[in-house]
Structure 1
Amino acid sequence: MKKKFFIIIFIFSLLLVMLGGCATFEKADLSGLRVVAVVSVVADRKIDMSDFKGLGAMVSKLSQSKDFKLDDVVNQIRNDVFEEYAPYLPFELMKERDVLNNEIYRNFYNEMGIDAKRLSYTTPKGYQIILMNKKNHAKLFEAFPEAGGLMYLRADYKLSKTKGGLLGGEAKVLSRYHITVVDRTGKKVLERTNWAVSDGIIKFAFGGIMDAKQIMPLVIMSSAKAAETTKNWIQREMGE
């Protein structure tokens, strides 16, 4: 019975990946923004391990491991948005230096949220961890009066069990890339998530899980696939 359950879950995950993701947007709304500031680029080091029971301590340990580095992932996301996405977007991206060198942005303090420093996020150099809420949006639009919208980019990960038994099993890494753009009213005029699953697997033993060195290759692999899916979607949906 358990084997059938894992097979169903895995097939469902594959279907999500084959579909590419889900999106909510109106191109006319995006065109009206004219200029958008990229204010957040993050990757979450805390992997979703909900398929595995009682591993809260392992999740925390993995996210803090010096071997679990997502710097290359966030730098690639940042490069993609300015170099690959920008020519196809129906609005202009504010120059990165104008965002990162803005005094309000450099000293940003999140309103109505937990201390951002406590989050397990990796960011490119110069970027702040900014939570999405109305008060933060108001502060950012004050900092960037010429911007009609704000863009948030985030990558996170899930360890999806594909095979399980009494002594252990196998798992793949599911990467999720999220793009959100909000306008000056706080409306999400673009909300897109793309999925991709690693080709490789990790084998685990009952009562334990892999370390960062084992999981990193699958994270990098699935991240690259999600990035490619996102780029293709942007070019297809946003291009003329």
Structure 2
Amino acid sequence: MVDNGARYRVAWRSAVVVLTTVGVLAAFLFVGLSSIVVAFLMGGIMVGSVQLSVGLAQERQAPELVRSVVRWAVRAGFVVVAICGYATATGTATLALLLLIGATSPPAIRWLYPNLADPAAAPAEPRPVETIVVEAEPPKQKRRRRKRVEPEPASPEPEVSPPPAPVVLTELSEEELCLAWRRSFTELEHCTTDAQRLEVAARRTAVLDELERRDPKAFAEWLDSGPRAAGDPSKFFTPRTNHGEPD
């Protein structure tokens, strides 16, 4: 079942590549070169911008992000040129072709036929229940004396440490807030449950709000620098803490 799905994806992509190639050739026959260049740039810039925004939001590495943006921009450019070629050659039939490609795409097939896409979702056939016959043992004439088992002493329950007292962010210095931001990222990586992750995420949000309230200008400069989730904002806030005060 999985092999059939993989083969279908390869076949669908191959068909899309062939249709795109035919559409590009039709564009060169029926559309001017200047219009082709404009269509290619429009499609590439639009899709490339979206891919760039998604990559920046996911904090992907620069080389990988550049390759992904260029790859999707080139694909989108050729697809837009092919659509222009089909629209010029066949007119409104292009819309039917696009709907057919979308309806036969692997995501659409998985949505329409989930059992075909996921073999585990198909109901399993019930297995026959085996009947096991246990023969009764003959009664023994002599009974063995059972040893008296002394109950083991109950182990003392571990002492439960009280939960840490909540930290009042307004009482922390900017340097301590920056340190709390960095430590919360390490705590987030070691979380094992969704409840723990939500708690740490709420504390990180509260730290950001407090930093912005303390020094909106430094907070804006930090955001403009493209910070990472584990970044250290102290270089933007700490120098301003003692500004104007004697050493």
Q: TM (normalized to structure 2)? A: 0.22
Structure number with the higher strand fraction is 1
Q: Which has the higher helix share?
A: 2
Q: Which has the higher contact order (CA 8 A, sep 6+)?
A: 1
The alignment's TM-score, normalised by the length of structure 1, stands at 0.23
